[in-house]
Structure 1
Amino acid sequence: MNHQEVKEASSVIQEKLQATPAIGLILGSGLGVLADKIENPTVIPYHEVPHFPESTVSGHKGQLVAGVLEGKQVIAMQGRFHFYEGYSMKQVTFPVRVMKELGITSLIVTNAAGGINETFNPGDLMLISDHINNMGTNPLIGPNNDAFGVRFPDMSQVYDKEYLAHAKSCANELGITVQEGVYVGNTGPTYETPAEIKMLRTMGGDAVGMSTVPEVIVAGHAGLRVLGISCISNMAAGILDQPLTHDEVIETTDKVRENFLQFVKKIIQTLP
Protein backbone atom coordinates (compact mmCIF):
# COMPACT_ATOMS: atom_id res chain seq x y z
CA MET A 1 0.00 0.00 0.00
CA ASN A 2 1.50 3.34 -0.98
CA HIS A 3 1.17 6.73 0.69
CA GLN A 4 -1.32 7.91 -1.93
CA GLU A 5 -3.75 5.08 -1.07
CA VAL A 6 -3.40 5.82 2.65
CA LYS A 7 -4.18 9.50 1.96
CA GLU A 8 -7.19 8.65 -0.23
CA ALA A 9 -8.67 6.37 2.46
CA SER A 10 -7.99 8.80 5.31
CA SER A 11 -9.44 11.79 3.47
CA VAL A 12 -12.75 9.96 2.89
CA ILE A 13 -12.90 9.10 6.61
CA GLN A 14 -11.75 12.58 7.65
CA GLU A 15 -14.69 14.21 5.87
CA LYS A 16 -17.11 12.25 8.06
CA LEU A 17 -15.32 12.77 11.40
CA GLN A 18 -16.34 15.43 13.90
CA ALA A 19 -12.91 15.54 15.61
CA THR A 20 -9.36 14.18 15.31
CA PRO A 21 -9.05 10.76 16.98
CA ALA A 22 -6.24 10.31 19.52
CA ILE A 23 -6.64 6.58 20.20
CA GLY A 24 -7.15 3.76 17.71
CA LEU A 25 -8.85 0.52 18.76
CA ILE A 26 -8.72 -2.81 16.95
CA LEU A 27 -11.44 -5.07 18.36
CA GLY A 28 -11.05 -8.83 17.94
CA SER A 29 -13.47 -11.78 17.79
CA GLY A 30 -16.48 -11.19 20.03
CA LEU A 31 -14.97 -7.98 21.45
CA GLY A 32 -16.56 -5.50 19.06
CA VAL A 33 -19.14 -4.60 21.74
CA LEU A 34 -16.77 -1.91 23.00
CA ALA A 35 -17.48 0.13 19.85
CA ASP A 36 -21.18 0.15 20.82
CA LYS A 37 -20.23 2.23 23.88
CA ILE A 38 -18.78 5.09 21.79
CA GLU A 39 -20.82 8.29 22.20
CA ASN A 40 -21.96 10.45 19.24
CA PRO A 41 -20.70 7.73 16.92
CA THR A 42 -19.81 8.17 13.29
CA VAL A 43 -20.15 4.73 11.68
CA ILE A 44 -18.34 4.05 8.41
CA PRO A 45 -18.70 0.58 6.80
CA TYR A 46 -15.40 -0.68 5.41
CA HIS A 47 -16.81 -0.91 1.89
CA GLU A 48 -17.20 2.90 1.86
CA VAL A 49 -13.47 3.44 2.41
CA PRO A 50 -11.19 3.27 -0.66
CA HIS A 51 -8.63 0.40 -0.61
CA PHE A 52 -10.10 -1.13 2.59
CA PRO A 53 -10.61 -4.90 2.51
CA GLU A 54 -13.81 -6.35 4.00
CA SER A 55 -14.04 -8.55 7.09
CA THR A 56 -15.32 -12.05 6.27
CA VAL A 57 -15.29 -13.64 9.73
CA SER A 58 -18.35 -14.07 11.97
CA GLY A 59 -18.02 -12.01 15.15
CA HIS A 60 -16.44 -9.18 13.12
CA LYS A 61 -18.93 -6.47 12.06
CA GLY A 62 -16.80 -4.75 9.44
CA GLN A 63 -17.03 -1.04 10.18
CA LEU A 64 -15.17 1.91 11.66
CA VAL A 65 -16.79 3.65 14.63
CA ALA A 66 -15.45 7.07 15.66
CA GLY A 67 -16.52 9.31 18.53
CA VAL A 68 -16.00 9.83 22.24
CA LEU A 69 -15.22 7.04 24.70
CA GLU A 70 -14.61 7.94 28.35
CA GLY A 71 -13.86 11.54 27.37
CA LYS A 72 -11.30 10.62 24.68
CA GLN A 73 -11.58 10.89 20.90
CA VAL A 74 -11.29 7.36 19.51
CA ILE A 75 -11.66 5.47 16.26
CA ALA A 76 -12.41 1.76 16.48
CA MET A 77 -12.21 -1.07 14.00
CA GLN A 78 -15.25 -3.21 14.76
CA GLY A 79 -13.81 -6.29 13.10
CA ARG A 80 -10.31 -6.72 11.72
CA PHE A 81 -8.66 -8.36 8.72
CA HIS A 82 -6.62 -11.55 8.88
CA PHE A 83 -3.85 -12.99 6.73
CA TYR A 84 -5.78 -16.30 6.57
CA GLU A 85 -8.69 -14.57 4.78
CA GLY A 86 -6.39 -14.34 1.76
CA TYR A 87 -5.43 -10.70 2.24
CA SER A 88 -1.82 -9.60 1.89
CA MET A 89 0.06 -8.40 4.97
CA LYS A 90 -0.11 -4.89 3.49
CA GLN A 91 -3.93 -5.11 3.33
CA VAL A 92 -4.20 -6.55 6.86
CA THR A 93 -2.23 -3.61 8.27
CA PHE A 94 -3.55 -0.88 5.95
CA PRO A 95 -6.05 0.42 8.57
CA VAL A 96 -3.20 1.07 11.03
CA ARG A 97 -1.53 3.32 8.45
CA VAL A 98 -4.83 5.09 7.85
CA MET A 99 -5.54 5.62 11.58
CA LYS A 100 -2.04 7.05 11.99
CA GLU A 101 -2.71 9.41 9.06
CA LEU A 102 -5.95 10.47 10.78
CA GLY A 103 -3.97 11.56 13.84
CA ILE A 104 -3.92 8.73 16.40
CA THR A 105 -0.87 8.50 18.67
CA SER A 106 -1.91 5.36 20.59
CA LEU A 107 -3.27 1.98 19.52
CA ILE A 108 -5.10 -0.54 21.71
CA VAL A 109 -5.20 -3.96 20.05
CA THR A 110 -7.46 -6.72 21.35
CA ASN A 111 -7.92 -10.34 20.33
CA ALA A 112 -9.32 -13.68 21.36
CA ALA A 113 -6.50 -16.16 21.93
CA GLY A 114 -5.87 -19.74 22.98
CA GLY A 115 -4.16 -20.21 26.32
CA ILE A 116 -0.78 -21.96 26.12
CA ASN A 117 0.26 -21.16 29.71
CA GLU A 118 -1.35 -23.90 31.80
CA THR A 119 -1.95 -21.55 34.74
CA PHE A 120 -4.42 -19.58 32.58
CA ASN A 121 -8.17 -20.21 32.43
CA PRO A 122 -10.72 -19.52 29.68
CA GLY A 123 -12.12 -16.03 30.31
CA ASP A 124 -8.83 -14.60 31.62
CA LEU A 125 -7.64 -11.28 30.21
CA MET A 126 -3.92 -11.23 29.34
CA LEU A 127 -1.89 -8.08 28.87
CA ILE A 128 0.58 -8.66 26.04
CA SER A 129 4.13 -7.92 27.19
CA ASP A 130 5.77 -9.16 23.97
CA HIS A 131 5.04 -11.23 20.89
CA ILE A 132 6.56 -13.94 18.71
CA ASN A 133 5.98 -13.53 14.98
CA ASN A 134 5.42 -17.14 13.89
CA MET A 135 3.65 -16.21 10.65
CA GLY A 136 6.63 -16.76 8.38
CA THR A 137 6.34 -13.29 6.87
CA ASN A 138 6.35 -9.63 7.87
CA PRO A 139 4.19 -6.67 6.77
CA LEU A 140 7.31 -4.50 6.28
CA ILE A 141 8.81 -6.74 3.59
CA GLY A 142 9.36 -4.77 0.38
CA PRO A 143 10.66 -1.26 -0.33
CA ASN A 144 10.54 0.96 2.76
CA ASN A 145 8.59 4.21 2.65
CA ASP A 146 10.52 6.65 4.85
CA ALA A 147 7.31 8.67 5.30
CA PHE A 148 5.89 5.66 7.19
CA GLY A 149 8.93 4.81 9.33
CA VAL A 150 12.56 3.67 9.37
CA ARG A 151 13.86 0.72 7.35
CA PHE A 152 14.84 -1.34 10.43
CA PRO A 153 12.42 -0.51 13.27
CA ASP A 154 13.22 -1.51 16.85
CA MET A 155 10.67 -3.97 18.31
CA SER A 156 12.28 -4.38 21.75
CA GLN A 157 9.67 -2.16 23.43
CA VAL A 158 6.84 -2.21 20.91
CA TYR A 159 4.34 -2.90 23.74
CA ASP A 160 4.57 0.37 25.67
CA LYS A 161 5.87 -0.29 29.20
CA GLU A 162 4.12 2.75 30.68
CA TYR A 163 0.81 1.62 29.16
CA LEU A 164 1.38 -1.90 30.52
CA ALA A 165 1.94 -0.55 34.05
CA HIS A 166 -1.09 1.73 33.66
CA ALA A 167 -3.30 -1.21 32.58
CA LYS A 168 -2.16 -3.25 35.60
CA SER A 169 -3.03 -0.43 37.99
CA CYS A 170 -6.48 -0.08 36.33
CA ALA A 171 -7.06 -3.82 36.84
CA ASN A 172 -6.11 -3.49 40.52
CA GLU A 173 -8.48 -0.56 41.02
CA LEU A 174 -11.33 -2.53 39.44
CA GLY A 175 -10.49 -5.74 41.30
CA ILE A 176 -10.05 -7.62 38.00
CA THR A 177 -7.34 -10.28 37.86
CA VAL A 178 -5.30 -10.01 34.67
CA GLN A 179 -2.51 -12.21 33.34
CA GLU A 180 0.55 -10.99 31.48
CA GLY A 181 2.47 -12.83 28.81
CA VAL A 182 3.82 -13.41 25.32
CA TYR A 183 1.41 -13.67 22.39
CA VAL A 184 2.33 -15.94 19.49
CA GLY A 185 0.96 -14.98 16.07
CA ASN A 186 0.26 -17.91 13.72
CA THR A 187 -1.32 -17.64 10.27
CA GLY A 188 -4.29 -19.96 10.89
CA PRO A 189 -6.97 -20.68 9.85
CA THR A 190 -6.42 -24.10 11.45
CA TYR A 191 -6.13 -24.29 15.19
CA GLU A 192 -2.78 -25.64 16.34
CA THR A 193 -2.03 -29.31 16.93
CA PRO A 194 -1.11 -30.46 20.47
CA ALA A 195 2.50 -30.91 19.29
CA GLU A 196 2.60 -27.34 17.94
CA ILE A 197 1.29 -26.00 21.26
CA LYS A 198 4.02 -27.92 23.09
CA MET A 199 6.59 -26.32 20.74
CA LEU A 200 5.15 -22.82 21.25
CA ARG A 201 5.24 -23.26 25.05
CA THR A 202 8.91 -24.29 24.79
CA MET A 203 9.53 -21.16 22.67
CA GLY A 204 8.12 -19.01 25.48
CA GLY A 205 4.56 -18.39 24.29
CA ASP A 206 1.70 -17.88 26.78
CA ALA A 207 -1.17 -17.40 24.30
CA VAL A 208 -1.66 -18.01 20.59
CA GLY A 209 -3.84 -16.41 17.94
CA MET A 210 -4.14 -15.55 14.26
CA SER A 211 -3.89 -11.75 14.35
CA THR A 212 -2.36 -8.76 16.18
CA VAL A 213 1.30 -9.31 15.35
CA PRO A 214 1.15 -7.72 11.85
CA GLU A 215 -0.79 -4.69 13.13
CA VAL A 216 1.59 -4.20 16.06
CA ILE A 217 4.67 -4.43 13.82
CA VAL A 218 3.23 -1.68 11.59
CA ALA A 219 2.17 0.38 14.63
CA GLY A 220 5.75 0.14 15.93
CA HIS A 221 7.07 1.16 12.51
CA ALA A 222 4.68 4.14 12.56
CA GLY A 223 5.84 5.25 16.02
CA LEU A 224 2.51 4.56 17.77
CA ARG A 225 2.30 3.64 21.46
CA VAL A 226 0.74 0.18 21.73
CA LEU A 227 -1.24 -1.70 24.37
CA GLY A 228 -2.29 -5.30 23.60
CA ILE A 229 -4.98 -7.29 25.41
CA SER A 230 -5.90 -10.93 24.76
CA CYS A 231 -9.07 -12.57 25.96
CA ILE A 232 -8.14 -16.19 26.65
CA SER A 233 -11.15 -17.75 24.96
CA ASN A 234 -10.11 -21.39 25.26
CA MET A 235 -7.18 -23.51 26.32
CA ALA A 236 -5.04 -24.45 23.33
CA ALA A 237 -4.89 -27.95 21.83
CA GLY A 238 -3.68 -30.79 24.02
CA ILE A 239 -4.28 -29.05 27.38
CA LEU A 240 -7.91 -30.12 27.74
CA ASP A 241 -9.10 -33.17 25.84
CA GLN A 242 -11.70 -31.41 23.70
CA PRO A 243 -12.01 -30.08 20.14
CA LEU A 244 -11.65 -26.33 19.48
CA THR A 245 -14.35 -24.27 17.76
CA HIS A 246 -14.93 -20.62 16.83
CA ASP A 247 -18.35 -20.84 18.57
CA GLU A 248 -16.53 -21.54 21.85
CA VAL A 249 -14.38 -18.45 21.28
CA ILE A 250 -17.45 -16.21 20.85
CA GLU A 251 -19.21 -17.87 23.81
CA THR A 252 -16.27 -17.16 26.15
CA THR A 253 -15.82 -13.56 24.98
CA ASP A 254 -19.56 -13.05 25.65
CA LYS A 255 -19.07 -14.26 29.24
CA VAL A 256 -16.20 -11.86 29.97
CA ARG A 257 -17.83 -8.95 28.13
CA GLU A 258 -18.53 -6.89 31.27
CA ASN A 259 -15.01 -7.25 32.69
CA PHE A 260 -13.49 -6.48 29.29
CA LEU A 261 -15.66 -3.38 28.80
CA GLN A 262 -15.02 -2.08 32.31
CA PHE A 263 -11.29 -2.69 31.99
CA VAL A 264 -10.72 -1.06 28.59
CA LYS A 265 -12.98 1.89 29.43
CA LYS A 266 -11.00 2.51 32.64
CA ILE A 267 -7.71 2.29 30.73
CA ILE A 268 -8.89 4.82 28.13
CA GLN A 269 -10.38 7.18 30.72
CA THR A 270 -7.06 7.52 32.55
CA LEU A 271 -4.57 6.81 29.73
CA PRO A 272 -1.40 8.92 30.26
Structure 2
Amino acid sequence: MTAFDTIAQRAPGAYARIAIVLGSGWGGLTQLLSDAVRIPYADLEGFPHATVAGHSGELVLGTLGQNRVAVMSGRKHGYETGDINGMQLPLQTLKALGCEVLVQTNAAGSLRTHLPPQSLMLVADHINFPQRSPLVGATGSERFVGMVDAYDPALRAQAQSIAKAHGKVLTEGVYAWAFGPQFETPAEIRMFAQLGADAVGMSTVPETILARHAGLRVLALSLITNMGAGLSHEQLSHAHTLEQAQAASVAASGLLAQIVGQLDLAQSLP
Protein backbone atom coordinates (compact mmCIF):
# COMPACT_ATOMS: atom_id res chain seq x y z
CA MET A 1 0.00 0.00 0.00
CA THR A 2 1.38 3.41 -0.94
CA ALA A 3 1.83 6.17 1.64
CA PHE A 4 -0.97 8.12 -0.02
CA ASP A 5 -3.32 5.11 0.25
CA THR A 6 -2.47 4.70 3.94
CA ILE A 7 -3.17 8.36 4.62
CA ALA A 8 -6.49 8.14 2.75
CA GLN A 9 -7.41 5.10 4.86
CA ARG A 10 -6.42 6.63 8.23
CA ALA A 11 -7.79 10.11 7.47
CA PRO A 12 -10.56 9.81 4.84
CA GLY A 13 -10.94 12.96 2.80
CA ALA A 14 -7.72 14.43 4.20
CA TYR A 15 -6.10 17.28 2.37
CA ALA A 16 -3.59 19.99 3.24
CA ARG A 17 -2.41 23.20 1.63
CA ILE A 18 0.79 23.60 3.63
CA ALA A 19 3.42 20.93 4.30
CA ILE A 20 5.72 21.47 7.27
CA VAL A 21 8.99 19.68 8.01
CA LEU A 22 10.05 19.93 11.65
CA GLY A 23 13.70 19.94 12.66
CA SER A 24 15.22 19.71 16.14
CA GLY A 25 13.47 22.00 18.62
CA TRP A 26 10.32 22.46 16.56
CA GLY A 27 8.43 19.31 17.56
CA GLY A 28 6.10 21.18 19.91
CA LEU A 29 4.20 22.48 16.90
CA THR A 30 2.32 19.20 16.58
CA GLN A 31 0.70 19.83 19.99
CA LEU A 32 -0.82 23.05 18.65
CA LEU A 33 -2.79 21.46 15.81
CA SER A 34 -6.52 20.99 16.06
CA ASP A 35 -8.28 17.89 14.65
CA ALA A 36 -4.90 16.12 14.60
CA VAL A 37 -4.49 12.69 13.01
CA ARG A 38 -1.11 11.06 13.70
CA ILE A 39 0.43 8.40 11.48
CA PRO A 40 3.85 6.90 12.35
CA TYR A 41 6.39 6.92 9.53
CA ALA A 42 6.73 3.18 10.05
CA ASP A 43 3.22 2.82 8.59
CA LEU A 44 3.96 5.00 5.55
CA GLU A 45 5.77 3.27 2.69
CA GLY A 46 8.84 5.28 1.66
CA PHE A 47 8.81 7.66 4.63
CA PRO A 48 12.06 7.87 6.61
CA HIS A 49 12.71 5.83 9.72
CA ALA A 50 13.69 8.24 12.49
CA THR A 51 17.33 7.66 13.48
CA VAL A 52 18.13 11.08 14.95
CA ALA A 53 17.32 12.06 18.54
CA GLY A 54 14.81 14.91 18.59
CA HIS A 55 12.88 13.66 15.55
CA SER A 56 9.76 11.72 16.53
CA GLY A 57 9.05 10.20 13.12
CA GLU A 58 5.37 10.76 12.43
CA LEU A 59 3.09 12.56 10.00
CA VAL A 60 0.47 14.74 11.67
CA LEU A 61 -2.53 16.05 9.72
CA GLY A 62 -4.59 18.87 11.17
CA THR A 63 -5.40 22.56 11.23
CA LEU A 64 -3.44 25.64 12.24
CA GLY A 65 -5.48 28.82 12.18
CA GLN A 66 -7.03 29.18 8.74
CA ASN A 67 -4.89 26.53 7.07
CA ARG A 68 -4.99 22.76 6.77
CA VAL A 69 -1.49 21.36 7.25
CA ALA A 70 0.49 18.15 6.95
CA VAL A 71 3.39 18.09 9.40
CA MET A 72 6.40 15.82 9.08
CA SER A 73 7.87 15.52 12.56
CA GLY A 74 11.37 14.51 11.51
CA ARG A 75 13.24 14.25 8.23
CA LYS A 76 15.82 12.12 6.45
CA HIS A 77 19.33 13.61 6.51
CA GLY A 78 21.96 12.93 3.89
CA TYR A 79 24.51 12.04 6.54
CA GLU A 80 22.43 9.09 7.74
CA THR A 81 23.04 6.93 4.65
CA GLY A 82 24.72 9.18 2.09
CA ASP A 83 21.47 9.29 0.12
CA ILE A 84 20.07 12.80 -0.30
CA ASN A 85 16.88 11.68 -2.05
CA GLY A 86 15.23 10.39 1.11
CA MET A 87 12.64 13.16 1.24
CA GLN A 88 11.55 12.88 -2.37
CA LEU A 89 8.67 10.44 -1.94
CA PRO A 90 7.32 12.13 1.22
CA LEU A 91 7.24 15.52 -0.51
CA GLN A 92 5.56 14.01 -3.58
CA THR A 93 2.97 12.43 -1.27
CA LEU A 94 2.28 15.74 0.47
CA LYS A 95 1.89 17.48 -2.87
CA ALA A 96 -0.63 14.81 -3.86
CA LEU A 97 -2.56 15.70 -0.69
CA GLY A 98 -2.92 19.23 -2.08
CA CYS A 99 0.07 21.02 -0.58
CA GLU A 100 1.20 24.15 -2.40
CA VAL A 101 3.77 25.38 0.11
CA LEU A 102 6.58 23.68 2.04
CA VAL A 103 7.53 25.29 5.36
CA GLN A 104 10.88 24.00 6.55
CA THR A 105 12.48 24.31 9.97
CA ASN A 106 15.89 23.34 11.27
CA ALA A 107 18.38 23.82 14.07
CA ALA A 108 21.51 25.68 13.00
CA GLY A 109 24.77 27.14 14.20
CA SER A 110 25.27 30.89 13.98
CA LEU A 111 28.11 32.62 12.17
CA ARG A 112 27.07 36.11 13.30
CA THR A 113 27.02 37.80 16.69
CA HIS A 114 23.61 39.34 15.95
CA LEU A 115 22.19 35.80 15.79
CA PRO A 116 22.83 34.39 19.27
CA PRO A 117 21.63 30.99 20.48
CA GLN A 118 17.83 30.67 20.82
CA SER A 119 17.21 33.35 18.18
CA LEU A 120 15.36 32.69 14.93
CA MET A 121 16.51 33.29 11.36
CA LEU A 122 14.24 33.49 8.34
CA VAL A 123 16.11 31.85 5.47
CA ALA A 124 16.45 34.19 2.48
CA ASP A 125 18.87 32.07 0.45
CA HIS A 126 21.20 29.12 0.81
CA ILE A 127 24.67 27.89 -0.09
CA ASN A 128 24.80 24.28 -1.24
CA PHE A 129 28.37 23.77 -0.11
CA PRO A 130 28.64 20.03 -0.91
CA GLN A 131 27.25 20.85 -4.39
CA ARG A 132 25.14 17.71 -4.29
CA SER A 133 21.67 17.52 -5.76
CA PRO A 134 18.76 15.12 -5.16
CA LEU A 135 17.86 15.65 -8.83
CA VAL A 136 20.85 13.70 -10.14
CA GLY A 137 19.41 11.00 -12.38
CA ALA A 138 16.20 12.92 -13.12
CA THR A 139 15.31 13.34 -16.78
CA GLY A 140 13.70 16.05 -18.85
CA SER A 141 14.17 19.79 -18.87
CA GLU A 142 12.35 20.15 -15.53
CA ARG A 143 15.49 18.92 -13.73
CA PHE A 144 17.15 22.27 -14.48
CA VAL A 145 15.40 24.05 -11.63
CA GLY A 146 15.95 27.77 -11.16
CA MET A 147 16.98 28.60 -7.60
CA VAL A 148 16.54 32.38 -7.67
CA ASP A 149 14.01 33.22 -4.94
CA ALA A 150 13.98 29.58 -3.84
CA TYR A 151 12.73 30.93 -0.50
CA ASP A 152 9.59 32.71 -1.64
CA PRO A 153 9.82 36.51 -1.16
CA ALA A 154 6.05 36.98 -0.80
CA LEU A 155 5.83 34.29 1.88
CA ARG A 156 8.83 35.77 3.66
CA ALA A 157 7.20 39.20 3.66
CA GLN A 158 4.05 37.73 5.22
CA ALA A 159 6.10 35.86 7.83
CA GLN A 160 7.91 39.08 8.74
CA SER A 161 4.63 40.96 9.07
CA ILE A 162 3.03 38.27 11.24
CA ALA A 163 6.10 38.02 13.48
CA LYS A 164 6.19 41.80 13.91
CA ALA A 165 2.50 41.84 14.85
CA HIS A 166 3.34 39.37 17.64
CA GLY A 167 6.28 41.44 18.86
CA LYS A 168 8.90 39.04 17.47
CA VAL A 169 11.97 39.78 15.39
CA LEU A 170 12.87 37.58 12.42
CA THR A 171 16.34 38.29 11.07
CA GLU A 172 16.78 37.20 7.46
CA GLY A 173 19.95 35.40 6.49
CA VAL A 174 21.74 32.87 4.31
CA TYR A 175 21.83 29.21 5.37
CA ALA A 176 24.86 27.09 4.44
CA TRP A 177 24.39 23.35 4.05
CA ALA A 178 27.25 21.23 5.42
CA PHE A 179 26.87 17.50 4.83
CA GLY A 180 27.87 16.31 8.33
CA PRO A 181 27.45 14.41 10.57
CA GLN A 182 30.60 15.91 12.09
CA PHE A 183 30.48 19.53 13.17
CA GLU A 184 32.47 22.06 11.18
CA THR A 185 36.02 23.10 12.01
CA PRO A 186 36.77 26.71 13.03
CA ALA A 187 38.46 27.18 9.65
CA GLU A 188 35.33 25.98 7.84
CA ILE A 189 33.18 28.34 9.92
CA ARG A 190 35.43 31.27 8.96
CA MET A 191 35.17 30.23 5.31
CA PHE A 192 31.35 30.00 5.41
CA ALA A 193 31.18 33.46 6.96
CA GLN A 194 33.44 34.90 4.26
CA LEU A 195 31.24 33.27 1.61
CA GLY A 196 28.25 35.19 2.99
CA ALA A 197 26.53 32.58 5.13
CA ASP A 198 24.87 33.59 8.39
CA ALA A 199 24.05 30.13 9.75
CA VAL A 200 25.10 26.56 9.02
CA GLY A 201 23.32 23.23 9.34
CA MET A 202 23.02 19.71 7.96
CA SER A 203 19.59 19.73 6.30
CA THR A 204 17.00 21.78 4.40
CA VAL A 205 18.81 22.39 1.11
CA PRO A 206 18.03 19.01 -0.52
CA GLU A 207 14.36 19.38 0.48
CA THR A 208 14.23 22.89 -0.96
CA ILE A 209 15.61 21.63 -4.27
CA LEU A 210 13.08 18.78 -4.33
CA ALA A 211 10.24 21.14 -3.42
CA ARG A 212 11.10 23.64 -6.15
CA HIS A 213 11.35 20.77 -8.66
CA ALA A 214 7.86 19.67 -7.58
CA GLY A 215 6.47 23.21 -7.95
CA LEU A 216 6.10 23.85 -4.22
CA ARG A 217 6.88 27.30 -2.84
CA VAL A 218 9.24 27.30 0.15
CA LEU A 219 9.47 29.17 3.45
CA ALA A 220 12.18 28.22 5.95
CA LEU A 221 13.21 29.14 9.49
CA SER A 222 16.32 28.26 11.47
CA LEU A 223 16.41 27.97 15.25
CA ILE A 224 19.90 29.02 16.31
CA THR A 225 21.21 26.57 18.90
CA ASN A 226 24.91 27.50 19.13
CA MET A 227 27.67 29.67 17.75
CA GLY A 228 29.78 28.06 15.06
CA ALA A 229 33.02 26.31 16.03
CA GLY A 230 35.66 28.76 17.21
CA LEU A 231 33.18 31.60 17.81
CA SER A 232 32.56 30.76 21.47
CA HIS A 233 33.79 28.47 24.23
CA GLU A 234 30.86 26.07 23.78
CA GLN A 235 31.67 22.39 23.41
CA LEU A 236 29.57 21.37 20.42
CA SER A 237 27.64 18.10 20.51
CA HIS A 238 24.26 16.85 19.41
CA ALA A 239 23.19 16.76 23.06
CA HIS A 240 24.09 20.43 23.39
CA THR A 241 22.14 21.23 20.23
CA LEU A 242 19.07 19.45 21.58
CA GLU A 243 19.39 21.16 24.96
CA GLN A 244 19.46 24.62 23.37
CA ALA A 245 16.69 23.71 20.93
CA GLN A 246 14.49 22.48 23.76
CA ALA A 247 15.03 25.70 25.70
CA ALA A 248 13.66 27.73 22.78
CA SER A 249 11.12 25.18 21.59
CA VAL A 250 7.94 26.66 23.08
CA ALA A 251 8.59 30.15 21.73
CA ALA A 252 9.75 28.93 18.32
CA SER A 253 6.84 26.51 17.87
CA GLY A 254 4.35 29.14 19.01
CA LEU A 255 5.58 31.70 16.50
CA LEU A 256 5.65 29.10 13.73
CA ALA A 257 2.03 28.21 14.50
CA GLN A 258 1.05 31.88 14.25
CA ILE A 259 2.88 32.32 10.94
CA VAL A 260 1.52 29.17 9.31
CA GLY A 261 -1.97 29.68 10.69
CA GLN A 262 -2.17 33.20 9.29
CA LEU A 263 -0.49 32.68 5.91
CA ASP A 264 -2.78 33.85 3.12
CA LEU A 265 -1.69 31.79 0.14
CA ALA A 266 -3.90 33.72 -2.28
CA GLN A 267 -2.37 37.00 -1.16
CA SER A 268 1.13 35.58 -1.63
CA LEU A 269 0.65 34.37 -5.19
CA PRO A 270 3.68 35.43 -7.26
Query: How does the TM-score come out when normalised to structure 2?
Result: 0.93
In structure 1, the partner of 2:120 is: 125
| Match of residue 10, structure 2, among 7, 16, 19 | 16
Q: Distance in 2 between matches of 1:134 and 1:114?
A: 15
Q: Distance in 1 between matches of 2:186 and 2:21?
A: 29
Q: Is 1:165 paired with 2:167?
A: no
Q: Distance in 1 between matches of 2:138 and 2:243?
A: 42
Q: Larger deviation: 71-80 or 201-210?
A: 71-80
In structure 1, the partner of 2:65 is: 70
Q: Summarize deviations over 1:94-145 as a string: whole Å, max 9, x none.
A: 3112211221001110000000123210011000000011133100010326
In structure 2, the partner of 1:258 is: 250
In structure 2, the partner of 1:113 is: 108
Residue 151 of structure 1: CA displacement? 2.3
Q: Distance in 2 between matches of 1:123 and 1:87?
A: 29
The residue identity in structure 2 corresponding to 1:189 is: P
Query: What are the ranges of 5 or more consecutive residues in structure 2 without an aligned counterpart?
Result: 265-270
Residue 259 of structure 1: CA displacement? 2.1
Q: Distance in 1 between matches of 2:97 and 2:140?
A: 18
Residue 37 of structure 1: CA displacement? 1.5
Residue 92 of structure 1: CA displacement? 3.4
Q: Is 1:91 paired with 2:83?
A: no
Q: Distance in 2 between matches of 1:104 and 1:255?
A: 31
Q: Distance in 1 between matches of 2:193 and 2:148?
A: 20
Residues 176 and 259, structure 1, Cα contact 8 Å, conserved in 2: no
Residues 25 and 77, structure 1, Cα contact 8 Å, conserved in 2: yes
Aligned residues: 263
Q: Is 1:196 paired with 2:188?
A: yes
Aligned-residue CA RMSD (Å): 1.5
In structure 2, the partner of 1:34 is: 29
Secondary structure of the corresponding residue to residue 85 of structure 2: helix
Q: Distance in 2 between matches of 1:114 and 1:105?
A: 29
Q: Distance in 2 between matches of 1:126 and 1:32?
A: 17
In structure 2, the partner of 1:217 is: 209
Q: Summarize deviations over 1:140-189 as a string: whole Å, max 9, x none.
A: 0103267xxx1211110110101111111111111112211000111110
The residue identity in structure 1 corresponding to 2:10 is: K
Secondary structure of the corresponding residue to residue 86 of structure 2: helix
In structure 2, the partner of 1:3 is: none
% same residue: 40
In structure 2, the partner of 1:46 is: 41
In structure 1, the partner of 2:259 is: 267
Residues 81 and 92, structure 1, Cα contact 8 Å, conserved in 2: yes
Secondary structure of the corresponding residue to residue 200 of structure 2: strand
Query: How does the TM-score come out when normalised to structure 1?
Result: 0.92
